[in-house]
Amino acid sequence: MVRLITHNLLACHVKNCNANNFPLEFQNVQLEIREAEFNPEFVKGFLPKIEWKALVDTARQLGDTSLPNEQPEMLDDDFLKNLHHVLLEIHVEEGSMVCPNCKHEYPISSGIPNMLLAEHEIA
Amino acid sequence: MAPRKLESVSLEPSEDPATFESKNVHQIYDAIATHFSSTRYKPWPIIATFLQNLPTGWVGFDSGTGNGKYLPLPADRPGAIWTIGMDRSRNLLEIARHAGGDDVVREVVWGNVLENAWRPGAFDYAISIATIHHLATYERRKLAVQRLIQAVDPNHGRILIYVWAIEQDELSKRKVVDQDEAVVADEKGKDVMVPWVLSKNLAAKPSEDSSPPEVFNRYYHMFAKGELGTLAKDAAVALGLSVGDPSAEEVGQGVEVVQDGWERSNYYVELRRWSK
Ligand SMILES: [Zn+2]
């Protein structure tokens, strides 16, 4: 499955595609929501490593508008719960991820993204 | 049972290593995935300890995750860290997805250990367990280590790598080299084919007839003493990084070997990235 935690870490790696290759754009997605155990300490620990704008924009594309444009200074429980939901509970089961730069398409099938490239595409 | 001598193999100079690995590693794991997974359930102690000691909130990836047995760890703090599994075998990923029980779904990615599918430095840690020894040349094994180094944070990223050793312990059923070959193998490691006798019940296509069980030969490079440490240092140097203790340097970026050893028929090395 591609959850947004994973999506926030993936980038296009086609040969010579080095700029504007993140975030990949979801297309034709089928979503599933699965509850995950809330661990506020984990969410706080991961927060500094998130590419925030990419996460907020992608969540909105998938229909979740709960996150603010800027990371808040006060990390209250409501915010952490919304972030937990966005990162860990929205599963993209089918569809694809497309590179904004070279348009390479990474298909997602039965929840597993295919990040393999053909031999000639590898850097 | 007396140890079996393993068949040695060498890659023909004309043979493409990627094609060789596809035939002698990837296709085989896809065929034996269910049976293989049923025999791999116990985490090795050094790896469990490594994961136990990582701070809450850290995110990492498991390069060559197989059946995903390390994804649910640490057992005493489930959910405190988050490990994403990557593997070349789609059939193993189907199993890894449910590692640790059907009630939890793991994050897995179909990918190649020689490719960089991640934002540079995005992870806090990376592990690669029993994977790099399936790559058919020194250059490819080095590139796999470079990919791990590039994927983790330049300031604190931690890496643990495990590979099969030529030196197998007495509990192992495998025997790799004869005495007369041992000297050469001690320096360079040894390329072998390791047979897997597929249980008929757990085959991808189960058969009912009385034909003998199918045997699959997997390619392994068995590491010599000191070879893994050298490989890790060569990978760091290839990326323009210093090798060694950060206190010896004024400025720059580097990779420090935290520990390096042998455990139950495997060599392991733990690395840490630093910047100053
Ligand atoms: Zn691209």
Q: What is the pTM of this model?
A: 0.91
Query: Would you say residue B73 has pLDDT above 60?
Result: yes
- CATH classification at residue B150: 3.40.50.150
Name the 3-class secondary structure at B28.
helix
CB contact under 8 A, B18 and A116: no
CB contact under 8 A, B123 and A9: yes
By C-alpha distance, the chain A residue nearest B143 is A123
Average pLDDT over residues B24-47: 82
What is the reported pLDDT for B202? 63
The interface predicted TM-score of the complex, written ipTM, equals 0.95
Q: Given pLDDT bands bounded at 50, 70 and 90, which one contains residue B48?
A: very high
Question: How many beta carbons lie within 10 A of that of residue B6, not counting itself?
Answer: 20
Task: Out of A8-22, A97-111, B42-56, pick the least confident.
Answer: B42-56
Encode pLDDT of B140-163 as tens digits: 999 999 999 999 999 999 999 999
Distance (Å) from CA B49 to ligand 1 centroid:
38
Chain A residues within 8 A of B117 when measuring between CB atoms: 10-11, 13, 115
What is the reported pLDDT for B2? 46
* Minimal C-alpha gap between A29 and chain B (Å): 17
| Count of structural domains, chain B | 1
Name the 3-class secondary structure at B134.
helix
Query: Would you say residue B139 has pLDDT above 50?
Result: yes
Q: Given pLDDT bands bounded at 50, 70 and 90, which one contains residue B194?
A: confident
The three state secondary structure string of chain A is CECHHHHCCECCCECCCCCCCCCCEEEEEEEEECCCCCCHHHHHHHHHHCCHHHHHHHHHHCCCCCCCCCCCCCCCHHHHHHHHHHHHCEEEEEEEEECCCCCCEEEEECCEEECCCCHHHEC
Structure tokens at A113: 């993204």
Query: Would you say residue B235 has pLDDT above 90?
Result: yes
**Cα atoms in the 13 Å half-sphere on the side-chain side of B178:** 4
Domain hosting B151: range is 4-275
By C-alpha distance, the chain A residue nearest B59 is A46
Encode pLDDT of A110-122 as tens digits: 999 999 998 778 7
Percent of chain B predicted with pLDDT > 90: 55
Length of chain B: 276
The contact set of A with B (CB < 8 A) is 1-3, 5-6, 9-11, 13, 22, 34, 36-37, 39, 41-47, 49, 51, 91, 110-117, 119, 122-123
